Amino acid sequence: MTQTGSTDLTVVGAGPAGVAATLMAVSVGMSVRLVEQGVPGGKLHHIGALDNVPGDWHSGPDLAAALSSDLDRARATQLLYRTTGRATAVAGYDGHAEVTLADGTVHRSEAVVVATGVTTLSAAAAPWIEAPDGFSPSPLWRTDPAALRGPTWILGADRPLGTWLRAHPHVEHTLNVACPPGDDYKSVEVEGDPRVHLVRCAALAVAPAPSGGAGLQLTVRGRDGRESLHVAGTVLHNLGSRPATLDGLAQGPDGYCPPELQHPRILTAGDLRSARFQRVVTAQGSGAQAALARYYDIALTGD
């Protein structure tokens, strides 16, 4: 195990929340170690439209590029240290906090902001879907409209559906969206789009098309218990996410990590906090708030 020198704050994750926490901390004179596994911006690189983010940003890659520039500017202050690696655990103690990486390195700081976001839920993990072993449809949010063939079914009504529709306003293809009860509150955002045919279901089974035909056969069980058969030329998944947790984080009943459950020196920000506040703007605000919360604790208590 290798232990590094201490900083005021360690930030885990370089998505919108992590970058916002880093910039806010540096702006008030805190030293920050930013631990990032991939490139700054994270999933922004795959978001085609950003019509609900202030600043006249038109796409996720545009904003991701700006965040990278922000980090370069912050590094010039000599208060920011960037570390590439995968964090696996976090721990809070009376006098400090620690982040452990996959290679065994331990970074110590006064406090930690964890902004690791979420990962995609697989079809195998969705309890309402029955499918053959190895069934792994492509995600909607990475799909080019030109790839759609025949009747198209989307498994799940998670928010990337609305983003995809806004990014491709000229697509006229009808999307049959299998919507389980847990996605009802999300489907409100797209139910008025004429390209969306919401199929509110209780369960769905996937099988090869009969007689060796092309595509897949879907057996959809409605919420009234009735079943209907459909042949799909294209099946894509849009099943939502699960929190990308670290060992040492306290989780609520839904698996997410709300700030109020954590050790006082561990702060969570961004999509990791809640399933219902997964927006770029709320992620940025929560990251900045987490950094300021720690800053004022120091200023007021001297701890």
As given in the structure block, the two tokens for residue 258 are 């709300």
Burial of 219 (0-12, 13-18, 19+ CB in 10 A): middle
- Looking at the chain, the number of H-run helices and the number of E-run strands are 5, 17
Residue 139 DSSP code:
E
Spatial contact of 160 and 190, defined as CB atoms under 8 Å apart: no
Sequence-distant (≥ 6) Cβ neighbours of residue 153 within 8 angstroms: 175, 176, 177, 178, 218, 230, 232, 234, 235, 236
CA-nearest of 286, 259, 48 to 162 is 48
The encoded tokens of residue 93 equal: 């103690």
Q: Which pLDDT value is given to residue 119?
A: 87
Asked whether the beta carbons of 176 and 154 are under 8 A apart, the reply is yes
| C-alpha span between 81 and 2 (Å, rounded) | 17
pLDDT at position 17:
97
The residue type of 243 is P
- Which comes out higher in pLDDT, residue 84 or 159? 84
pLDDT surpassing 70 at residue 1: no
pLDDT tens figures, 229-247: 999 999 999 998 889 999 9
CATH architecture of the domain with range 123-237: 3-Layer(bba) Sandwich (3.50)
7-120+241-301 shares its CATH topology with 123-237: yes
Q: Tell me which of 3.90.1010.10, 1.10.357.10, 3.50.50.60, 3.30.530.20 is the CATH number of domain 7-120+241-301.
A: 3.50.50.60
In DSSP terms, 36 is beta-bridged to 84
Report the distance separating Cα 178 and Cα 222, nearest Å: 10
DSSP state of 209: P
Residue 301 has pLDDT above 60, yes or no: no
The answer to whether 291 and 34 have CB atoms below 8 angstroms apart is no
How do the domains of the chain map onto residue ranges?
Answer: 7-120+241-301, 123-237
Tokens representing 213 are: 């035909």
Give pLDDT tens digits for 136-169.
Answer: 899 898 899 999 999 999 999 998 899 899 889 9
How far apart CA 23 and CA 3 sit, in angstroms, is: 25
Six-digit token string for 293:
């919360």
How far is the first Cα of the chain from the last one, in angstroms, to the nearest whole number?
Answer: 27
